[in-house]
Structure 1
Amino acid sequence: MIEADDQDNLAVSLLHRDGSLEAIPLSAVCRLGRRMQVILRPPASAVLVKQHRVPAASRRELDNILRHELSRITPFTAEALFWRWDVATPSDARAGSAITLTMVPRSVCATALAKLEQLGIIADYVDARAAGKRYLLPADRGIGHRGGVRLFRGLAWACLGLSIVALLLPLVRQAVALRHTESEIAALQPELRQVQALRRIMTARQAERDILRQETVRVGDVLEILATLTRALPDDSFLTNLVLQHRRLTLSGQADSAAHLITTLSANPAIHDPSFAAPVMHSEKVAADIFLIRATYGP
């Protein structure tokens, strides 16, 4: 047990099972604190007791209710106190339960706790005495400090153990992994050969597509040219023959008025220098002009 006075001086005693106290130096707590409970006793003037009535509820519900009620019925929040509650009278469905709250502000013990923490000592309980009774207030209520330290230490030991295992077994693991990798590589050889063959075929087809694209750029896209002529020629005309050679067009066909075709084709930005390659002849049999036009196709 560690007792702190109003000047934050610490007096250390070892509490035996028979209730007797034995004074020991603070350094001894550093050794004993790891396997024994550490209890901090604040000055008696720091202990606060309050009677409060709450609705009838289970113990877990009462704990949550009081945790939120503390900031309303006291000047402190639950996180700013070491506290506990005890039922003063049995709960009644209508009247609720009379609760005795025992509290110690954390600020009162802050200096003493800081001194202990510098020595690696963490208090488990705060010993509060009021009205001739002794109450042990959980020191980790609301903050879980000691539980966090224990968890951290446990994780540290686990990491150390895993590190030792990793250092002792690297050669075996590498041999097993190497053997497994070699067997997988051997099993994948047929599929690898198939992939390489498909890659060669795809490369050859890509070369063919590149050649076709180059030729299309050089001589022109036939489908694009047909679409352009279809949009450019009026509805009363049609082609009987189309020759494309190095973007040079030779158009032959019939139209109601062939004279207007040159103007119509010249208005299209993709068709350049349209002109008649032969005299226009009028056919009485089909009642239309027969024409032969040459032009250049390009951007």
Structure 2
Amino acid sequence: MPAVDQLATSLETLRLRLARTPLPGWGRSMADAALSLLPPPWRRLFRGEARRLFLARGDQALSFTASDANGDQPLGEVPLGDAELLAELHARLAASSVPAWLLLPAAAVLRRRLPLPAAAEPRLRDVLAHELDRQTPFSADQVSFQGRVVSRDAASQQIQAELLVLPRARLEAEMQALGPLAALLEGVDVVEADGRRLGLNLLPAARRETRRDPVRRLNALLAAVAAVALLGTLALTLHNRASALEALRADVEAATAEARQARLARNQLQAKVQAANFLASTRASRPTMLELLDDLTRRIPDDTAIDKLTVNDGKLVLVGQSRAAPALVGLLQDSPLLAEPALSGAVQADPRSGRDRFTLAATVRGQAPEGANDTGR
């Protein structure tokens, strides 16, 4: 079986299974309730113009009935023997887009009810075609037949199907009686004694007149244009949103980069400020080398010669010669710039100069340990 036939069979099976449930009835009830709230013009717009012209042949006349969403409306009768009038009606119906149907009385068709399994419903016409020889005295090429489901029994998985058979001889007689109007028929339906139509089409497919409704074609074209416009609007909206999103992302990235640069500059500025403040506070808390040299010059006596002066990591080291080296410690203890002066090592006499060679160490007040060296001679 081709894939298209398999898909069609699957869809038909699904449709039939759905038809056995209460959902279609609920849907129709809800749709009718919603449509009843609309004004009549809108209601006709949503329901559509399901117009048909039904022809029923009597003994000497042909009656016409117009049917639409509002119901049936008898139009009148035309004598069958008036060929000129039938030709004029043929011309008018040919120019109209309303489909014409022939109504036959229920006595004109042969009807049989058959119990069938529910699985036969998707292929009901094929099943009934095999039942023609047993249920009727006709063969398939002698009749036009249709079938319909009368009832369904979900418990027993059975359906009651009705076979309706119209002999082709009767159909040809009816078509001949219509004269030129027979060529315009799109279907043949059966009407019950109470006026209810069965909703079947017993006219063979090869003889059905297919008309194209210009209004329907225009509506289809307008619907296609509206769909294309809607899709274009959606696509344009999505494009605009995508463009706006990209622009927003670019702005956010630019703002983020600017914020990152500002944060980096702020951190660098804070580091420089902290370093400058540290240097300023360090320099403010310790004496300068000029102040230290001035204080030493005032306190060291003239008979003392300084060979080397070193300030390293807050430590002052003096190396020189003096006639009273131990007295230097007392002189430097009164200095506001030095603390803990003391001789380092033994004092050695120098026979050439007659003085004592000494090494004196002290701590510079307010001096924090640093890695930098300040040296003076």
Shorter-chain TM-score tier: 0.3 to 0.5
Q: Whose helix proportion is higher, 1 or 2?
A: 2
Question: Which one scores higher on RCO, CA 8 angstroms, separation ≥ 6?
Answer: 1
- Give the TM-score, by structure 1 length: 0.41
Looking at CA atoms only, which structure, 1 or 2, has the larger radius of gyration?
Answer: 2
- Give the TM-score, by structure 2 length: 0.33
